[in-house]
Structure 1
């Protein structure tokens, strides 16, 4: 995983875990890789992964089953979508709309591009 300088690493790892859940690679109620396994796979300090797990636990996206590991919460998909929708609407959408306005792009013009994106990225073609 390549990390960006614009956001804390533990938050980028949280985004990665949430994406795995939304793509159903880590389904609800399934065990996720251990802190050490994730740290090795992502080439980060285990303390960074632990900080991520604490954050996701506070958001009720994962649950710690003592002595067994972390598991995806049964309603994790719903919680992730709510959290990410709010963040997208508040942080990214205003800039997106500004660009649409400045470039004279209508929402109707975007629809075929969005449909093409959905077909190419999320029908088994993305890793």
Structure 2
């Protein structure tokens, strides 16, 4: 993930948290970098994989548990997982024959915070 992508998601060490989508317009580079992240989540298979990994109570899941849920070949599943890794959403570790995946800490919270807008002030009559 580029420094710009990290900055957008509030992972840059110079800033504590990212600004929300409604707080200021994105510049061209920010929009391009953030689009890569949303593009990775824009595929139904990758979205399901992300959900399966994120919802795992143990915090990580073996690829051997992910593959049977799809009517796709193992190389295709590995390709989708690679794209999620390249987008900076998940990470993995090889243990013997198997690879274990987990969601990077705080990624989902930062994406949610980016998309959240402040509630409008109540209008009084």
Same fold (TM over 0.5): no
Q: TM-score, structure 1 length as denominator? A: 0.43
More strand by percentage: 2
Higher relative contact order (CA 8 A, sep 6+): 2
Q: TM-score, structure 2 length as denominator? A: 0.44
More helix by percentage: 1
